[in-house]
Amino acid sequence: MINRKIARRYAKALMNIGREDGNYERYLEELQSFTSLFQTEKELREALINPTFGASPRQAIITEVGTKLGLSQIVMNLLYVLVTKNRIQALPDVTSVYQELVDEVAGRVRVHLITAYELKNHKLQELTHALEGFVQKKVIMEVEQDQSLIGGVVAKIGGMVYDGSLRTQLEAFKELLEKG
């Protein structure tokens, strides 16, 4: 929660710059690529988090990795600040909040879709269109497969859940039987 609060501050600052220069989408992609590396590469993460290494060596690591990833100077600067202030561990939250801000500005919404079986492309598109019609925003689908649903799909949009899974129907049926 505290991380999220701090993250919002940095994400907003980056968003302001991004809106001014019109590169906010690019910054999101860059942040996501660095964050992905930060989360998967343990050595990189530990080196950046460890304050005993000093700010300069850690900034040098960012420069090297950032150059290879083709990061813009703006995003690199943000990463330098996070490292210098020993808040680099909040990076995933910064990216997540920044993504929300970008989605908001771009007028789109992310839907976390859980499906029991893999969806065919045309079904996924049909569902995406239906959801876009409902939320009146462009929908970006993040699909996850979970066979414990037995059948059907569950869509999570922000804090709302639209559950069409057989698992939930069975649970409702069970509750009905228990109540008599």
Partner 1 sequence: MWGDLLLKITNFAILAFILYKVLKKPLRSYLKSRHDTIKNTLDEAERAKREGERKYRAYEARLKTLDQEIEQLQQILVQEGERQKQRILKESELTAQKIKDQANLRAEQELKMAKMRLRHEFAAQAVQLAEDLLKKHFQPSDHDRLVDEYIQGVRNLK
- Residue from 112, 108, 118 nearest 162 by CA: 112
Q: Give whichever of 12 and 173 is closer to partner 1, judged by the CB atom.
A: 173
- Taking the complex as a whole, the smallest distance from the CB of residue 103 to partner 1 amounts, in Å, to 20
Q: Give whichever of 106 and 135 is closer to partner 1, judged by the CB atom.
A: 135
- Taking the complex as a whole, the smallest distance from the CB of residue 173 to partner 1 amounts, in Å, to 6
Q: Give whichever of 5 and 173 is closer to partner 1, judged by the CB atom.
A: 173
Three-state SS at 73: helix
φ, ψ at 28 (rounded to 5°): -65, -45
Counting Cβ atoms within 10 Å, is residue 67 exposed (0-12), middle (13-18) or buried (19+)?
exposed
d(CA 34, CA 132): 30
Q: Give whichever of 158 and 162 is closer to partner 1, judged by the CB atom.
A: 162
- Taking the complex as a whole, the smallest distance from the CB of residue 152 to partner 1 amounts, in Å, to 4
Q: Give whichever of 43 and 175 is closer to partner 1, judged by the CB atom.
A: 175
Task: HSE, CB side, 13 Å, CA atoms: give it for residue 127.
Answer: 21
- Residue from 157, 37, 34, 58 nearest 26 by CA: 34
- Which DSSP letter does residue 52 get? G
Residue whose pair of structure tokens reads 């509750």 in the numeric block? 175
- Taking the complex as a whole, the smallest distance from the CB of residue 100 to partner 1 amounts, in Å, to 23
* Interface ranges with partner 1 (CB under 8 A): 115-117, 119-120, 123, 126-127, 130-131, 133-134, 150-153, 155, 162, 164, 166, 170-171, 173-175, 177-178, 180
- Residue from 91, 69, 67 nearest 79 by CA: 91
- Taking the complex as a whole, the smallest distance from the CB of residue 73 to partner 1 amounts, in Å, to 43
